[in-house]
């Protein structure tokens, strides 16, 4: 029987997790011949964990308690490496724990991966639930990413990965900083499903402008050498425009140089040694049996 492990990072959002697990249970009850396990990465939450009940159709539910808070992306990086090094599995599903990754779409991910077991599947965002300003900024992020890297990245963490691809990305330094950027850089082929961004179960979205900016720059930083090459081309073109539009061309050159400096700075987040030692941050594992 095929085995799929679902990885869910959590920081304090325990009520959302409880509701999410119940919805996952309802969905996987209809999926035959697959054993589902769930690994919850507790990113050093500072509020008490309530009683968590293992749903009927989850074969196993484990809470991985981390010693230090490392952030969402690094919880995924830890989970990917831990599963690859310690578990037998066929696929990994990554999803957020707040309801914005809709459990109903697990069926689409599994159907797609079953149709082609050699290619990982990502959830392409076709509709978002946030307000106008966030949607506008997110579109700006996608445009900036495409211009600076030549890559169209229209997916986040929600995905279903093959074991081969998990092995491929598990040692990549960029995984410590950006999951989606790492996938786009290292995997030649990706299948997609259409995904509607769900609404948070409880409370407002935790994706602030600053977090969105860091998220965007982290993705672009994965392709820093492409960014530098493209920037050189832009700078050369702008040099020829100086005799005609000196002020505008010079300002654009300064912006491009500054942007490259920021990208190189952000790329310092990609730390392979911390990725390889990420299991040292694990405090304990709590298996929920009932």
Average pLDDT, the chain: 92
Q: Has residue 214 been placed in a domain? A: no
Q: Has residue 188 been placed in a domain? A: yes
d(CA 145, CA 242): 26
| Its pTM surpasses 0.85 | yes
Q: How many domains are contained in the chain?
A: 2
Looking at the fold, whether 281 and 249 belong to one and the same domain comes out as no
CA 148 vs. chain centroid, Å, equals: 20
pLDDT > 70: percent of the chain:
96
Res 134: pLDDT: 67
Q: Has residue 174 been placed in a domain? A: yes
Looking at the fold, whether 253 and 284 belong to one and the same domain comes out as no
d(CA 181, CA 90): 23
End-to-end CA distance of the chain: 22
Q: Is the pLDDT of residue 91 over 80?
A: yes
Looking at the fold, whether 122 and 241 belong to one and the same domain comes out as no
What range does the domain containing 15 cover? 2-141+152-204+272-288
| Of residues 133, 84, 91, the one with CA closest to residue 110 | 91
Looking at the fold, whether 123 and 172 belong to one and the same domain comes out as yes
H or E stretch covering 126: strand 121-127
Looking at the fold, whether 31 and 163 belong to one and the same domain comes out as yes
**51: three-class secondary structure by DSSP:** coil
56, two tokens: 């009927």
Q: What residues have CB less than 8 Å from 276, skipping those under 6 apart?
A: 81, 171
Looking at the fold, whether 55 and 188 belong to one and the same domain comes out as yes
**56: three-class secondary structure by DSSP:** coil
Angle between helices 246-266 and 209-221 (to 10 degrees): 90
Q: Has residue 51 been placed in a domain? A: yes
Q: Is the pLDDT of residue 208 over 70?
A: no
Handedness of CA 26, 28, 29, 31 (dihedral sign): positive
Q: Has residue 53 been placed in a domain? A: yes
Q: Is the pLDDT of residue 129 over 60?
A: no
Q: Has residue 41 been placed in a domain? A: yes
Q: What residues have CB less than 8 Å from 256, skipping those under 6 apart?
A: 231, 234, 235, 238
Looking at the fold, whether 47 and 62 belong to one and the same domain comes out as yes
Q: What residues are paired with 269 via a beta bridge?
A: none
Looking at the fold, whether 260 and 166 belong to one and the same domain comes out as no
Looking at the fold, whether 119 and 171 belong to one and the same domain comes out as yes
**92: three-class secondary structure by DSSP:** strand
Strand-pair category, 282-288 with 60-66: antiparallel
Interval 20-36 mean pLDDT:
96
173, two tokens: 């330094």
Res 197: pLDDT: 86
Looking at the fold, whether 279 and 251 belong to one and the same domain comes out as no
Interval 70-76 mean pLDDT:
94
pLDDT digits (tens, 9 = 90+) for 230-282: 999 999 999 988 887 888 889 999 999 999 999 999 999 999 999 999 999 99
Looking at the fold, whether 100 and 190 belong to one and the same domain comes out as yes
Q: Is the pLDDT of residue 186 over 80?
A: yes
d(CA 125, CA 111): 18
Q: Has residue 213 been placed in a domain? A: no
Q: Is the pLDDT of residue 128 over 60?
A: no
Looking at the fold, whether 163 and 100 belong to one and the same domain comes out as yes
d(CA 238, CA 129): 39
Q: Has residue 217 been placed in a domain? A: no
CATH code of residue 281: 3.90.550.10
Residue keyed to tokens 């990113």: 43
Q: Is the pLDDT of residue 24 over 70?
A: yes
Res 149: pLDDT: 92
pLDDT tier at 290 (50, 70, 90 boundaries)?
confident
Give the 3-state secondary structure percentages of the chain, helix then strand then coil, rounded to 5. 50, 20, 30
């Amino acid at each position: 029987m095929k085995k799929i492990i679902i990885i869910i990072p959590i920081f304090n959002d325990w009520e959302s997790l409880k509701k999410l697990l119940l919805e996952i249970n309802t969905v996987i009850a209809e999926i035959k011949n697959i054993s589902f396990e769930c690994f919850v990465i507790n990113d050093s939450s500072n509020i008490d964990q309530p009683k968590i009940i293992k749903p009927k159709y989850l074969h196993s539910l484990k809470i991985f308690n981390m010693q230090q808070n490392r952030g969402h992306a690094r919880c995924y990086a830890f989970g990917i490496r831990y599963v690859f090094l310690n578990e037998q599995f066929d696929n990994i599903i990554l999803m957020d724990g707040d309801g914005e990754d809709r459990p109903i779409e697990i069926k689409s991910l599994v159907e797609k991966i079953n149709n082609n077991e050699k290619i990982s599947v990502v959830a392409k965002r076709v509709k978002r639930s946030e307000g106008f300003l966030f949607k506008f900024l997110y579109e700006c992020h996608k445009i900036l990413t495409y211009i600076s890297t030549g890559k169209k990245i229209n997916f986040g963490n929600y995905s279903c990965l093959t074991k081969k691809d998990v092995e491929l990305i598990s040692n990549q330094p960029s995984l410590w900083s950006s999951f989606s950027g790492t996938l786009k850089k290292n995997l030649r082929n990706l299948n997609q499903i259409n995904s509607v961004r769900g609404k948070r179960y409880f409370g407002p979205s935790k994706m602030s402008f600053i977090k969105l900016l860091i998220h965007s720059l982290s993705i672009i930083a994965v392709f820093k050498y492409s960014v530098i090459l493209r920037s050189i081309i832009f700078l050369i073109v702008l040099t020829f425009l100086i005799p005609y539009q000196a002020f505008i061309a010079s300002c654009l050159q300064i912006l491009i140089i500054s942007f490259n400096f920021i990208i190189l700075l952000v790329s310092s987040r990609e730390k392979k040694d911390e990725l390889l030692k990420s299991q040292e941050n694990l405090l304990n594992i709590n298996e929920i049996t009932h």
